[in-house]
Amino acid sequence: MDNDTLASIEELRRLVAMSGTINMEIFYWWCTALMVIIHAGFLAYEMGASRVKNALASGVKNILAFAFIIPTFFLFGWWIYVAFPSGLVPSATGNAALPWSDTMGPNLADNATGIFWAAFALFAATTASILSGAVIERIRLSAFCILAILLGSVLWILAASWGWHPEGWLHTALGYHDVGAAGVVHMIAGFFALGVLINLGPRIGRFAVDGTPQELFGHSMPMTIIGLMMIIVGFFGFLGGCIIYMTGEQWVNIYGQPATLSAFAFNTLMGFAGGIIGCFLMTRDPFWMMSGALAGIISAAAGLDVYHPALAFLIGFVGGCLIPKVQEVLLKLQIDDAVGAFSVHGAAGLWSLVACGIFASGYPSPNGPDSSLYGQVVGGAVMALLGFVPGYLGSLVLKSFGLLRITAGAEKAGLDIVELPVRPYPEGHTPSTHPVAAE
């Protein structure tokens, strides 16, 4: 070949590489945008699940979780992910993720860091939002913000560094497989919420003197159900952010194993449908049906890249059947999880990891041993402890200083009138015409 031809080929290669780089940026940009819809969904979901006297305060809490996660994830969250894959001792590779690094800002030699940071920051905000719903109507806003930062900008990302990173020790030592973040996001958030709920206590009136659960109906079930559907829409961005775009090559999952977005499409939808049907069978309650949709996707998430779609449906179905029962157990223990966050995220996340070990052992990895039930169970135990213990201890410290829970008077009056300068429905609110729920 003459020099002109070689130059043309080289130019073509350069163009293809740049086009691929920009396509990568575009892909994660829109995944991030879709994940913002998760927050719109959580916002509607929590406000609808609150009684009208707390509707806006619940919204403020959710908005602030998002707002405080972003700067704190910039200050130290991303560094934790890059620096801690081997455990609790930071590595020097994390230096590039420190907030004063040249790559942590506009840089023409780095198209990747900002867009990946953004996607991970939205994962962090999602994790914090999971806590937000569980504690509505009685947690102090400042306490919630502190706990949300601990959960979203420290714990989930430490879990991700251990189990959702090609060099994370859970993967390299045990073959831990959690492609869709069932453990590192959902279990961490669900178990953290459980730890907080134990110290926070139930809302006034949630349980009778003899311990019988009393319903505290939210003021807008339609808003809650639509919010849940918006979370499902956002999940497609969340799960899209779980696969790595490789210019000129096949996609890979977070562990470097070959994967396709088609696999994610099959199994996300099949898990979604299985979860709804499972919850419909168990409850006939539209709130739980849409929670079941989330639980179905989460149940299939760990093995989203490898399951046969029929298996993903069945795993989602089992998850959908499981979560109302877990909520019943919490109620028997007089733990008031206002939106079922532990059952939907914690319990379904654990089921997801175990199911992946039962049905998807033996897949090879370039960075660790084959996937196995043992690796999944150990990983699940690590996620449960990493979520629960800091949640319990962090909220215990706040409680010991009287900073965790609002006063009884404020709880009875409602947080909107106590803390906020505006009202949700200043021209009136239509009361329910069905005060008693069907059996």
Partner 1 sequence: MNGSPISAWDGVEAYFTFADSPLLIGLFLLFVALVVVGVITHSAKHESKAFKRFP
* List 88, 92, 108, 436, residue binding partner 1 (CB under 8 A): 108
x-marked contacts with partner 1 along 19-58 as a string, rule CB under 8 A: ----------------------------------------
- Cβ proximity of 101 and 120 under 8 Å: no
- Cβ proximity of 103 and 368 under 8 Å: no
Q: SS3 for 404?
A: coil
Least distance in Å: CB of 420 to partner 1? 10
Residues of this chain, 60-99, that bind partner 1 according to CB under 8 A = 68, 71-72, 74-75, 99
Residue 103 has which token pair? 């790559």
Residue 106 binds partner 1 (CB under 8 A): yes
**What's the one-letter identity of residue 256?**
G
* List 12, 14, 105, 358, residue binding partner 1 (CB under 8 A): 105
Bridge partner list, 365? 368
Considering beta carbons, is residue 146 or 261 the nearer one to partner 1?
Answer: 146
CB within 8 A of 161, min separation 6: which ones?
80, 81, 82, 83, 84, 85, 168
- Cβ proximity of 271 and 336 under 8 Å: no
Segment lying near partner 1 (by CB under 8 A), choices 89-97, 196-204, 344-352, 401-409: 401-409
Q: What distance in Å separates the CA atoms of residue 372 and residue 384, rounded to the nearest whole number?
A: 18
CB within 8 A of 329, min separation 6: which ones?
none
Residue 323 has which token pair? 């979560």
* List 134, 150, 259, 406, residue binding partner 1 (CB under 8 A): 406
Residue 419 binds partner 1 (CB under 8 A): yes
Least distance in Å: CB of 121 to partner 1? 14
Q: SS3 for 413?
A: helix
Least distance in Å: CB of 229 to partner 1? 32
Question: Which CA distances in Å does 67 have to 8, 36, 38, 62?
Answer: 48, 12, 14, 9
Considering beta carbons, is residue 147 or 197 the nearer one to partner 1?
Answer: 147
* List 332, 408, 425, 432, residue binding partner 1 (CB under 8 A): 408
Least distance in Å: CB of 287 to partner 1? 30
Q: What distance in Å separates the CA atoms of residue 300 and residue 232, rounded to the nearest whole number?
A: 14
Supply the DSSP symbol for 103: T
Residues of this chain, 122-181, that bind partner 1 according to CB under 8 A = 140-143, 145-146, 149
Residue 244 binds partner 1 (CB under 8 A): no
Considering beta carbons, is residue 71 or 258 the nearer one to partner 1?
Answer: 71
Considering beta carbons, is residue 96 or 373 the nearer one to partner 1?
Answer: 96
Question: Which CA distances in Å does 320 have to 47, 85, 132, 291, 299?
Answer: 24, 33, 22, 8, 9
- Cβ proximity of 159 and 171 under 8 Å: no
Q: What distance in Å separates the CA atoms of residue 268 and residue 307, rounded to the nearest whole number?
A: 10
Considering beta carbons, is residue 283 or 395 the nearer one to partner 1?
Answer: 395
Considering beta carbons, is residue 149 or 182 the nearer one to partner 1?
Answer: 149
Q: What distance in Å separates the CA atoms of residue 415 and residue 376, rounded to the nearest whole number?
A: 42
Residue 397 binds partner 1 (CB under 8 A): no
Residue 400 binds partner 1 (CB under 8 A): no
Number of residues that bind partner 1 (CB under 8 A): 32
Least distance in Å: CB of 391 to partner 1? 18
Segment lying near partner 1 (by CB under 8 A), choices 82-90, 100-108, 209-217, 218-226: 100-108
Q: What distance in Å separates the CA atoms of residue 195 and residue 183, rounded to the nearest whole number?
A: 16
Residues of this chain, 285-344, that bind partner 1 according to CB under 8 A = none
Least distance in Å: CB of 42 to partner 1? 20
Least distance in Å: CB of 212 to partner 1? 27
Residue 103 binds partner 1 (CB under 8 A): yes
Least distance in Å: CB of 30 to partner 1? 24
CB within 8 A of 376, min separation 6: which ones?
176, 177, 302, 353, 354, 356, 357
Residue 76 has which token pair? 């130290």
Segment lying near partner 1 (by CB under 8 A), choices 12-20, 182-190, 255-263, 407-415: 407-415
Provide the pairing of β-strand 243-244 with 252-253: antiparallel
CB within 8 A of 81, min separation 6: which ones?
97, 120, 157, 160, 161, 165
Considering beta carbons, is residue 105 or 211 the nearer one to partner 1?
Answer: 105
Supply the DSSP symbol for 205: T
Residue 109 binds partner 1 (CB under 8 A): yes
Q: Please, what sign has the CA dihedral across residues 391, 396, 398, 399?
A: positive
Which residues contact partner 1 by CB under 8 A? 68, 71-72, 74-75, 99-100, 102-103, 105-110, 140-143, 145-146, 149, 403, 406-410, 412-413, 418-419
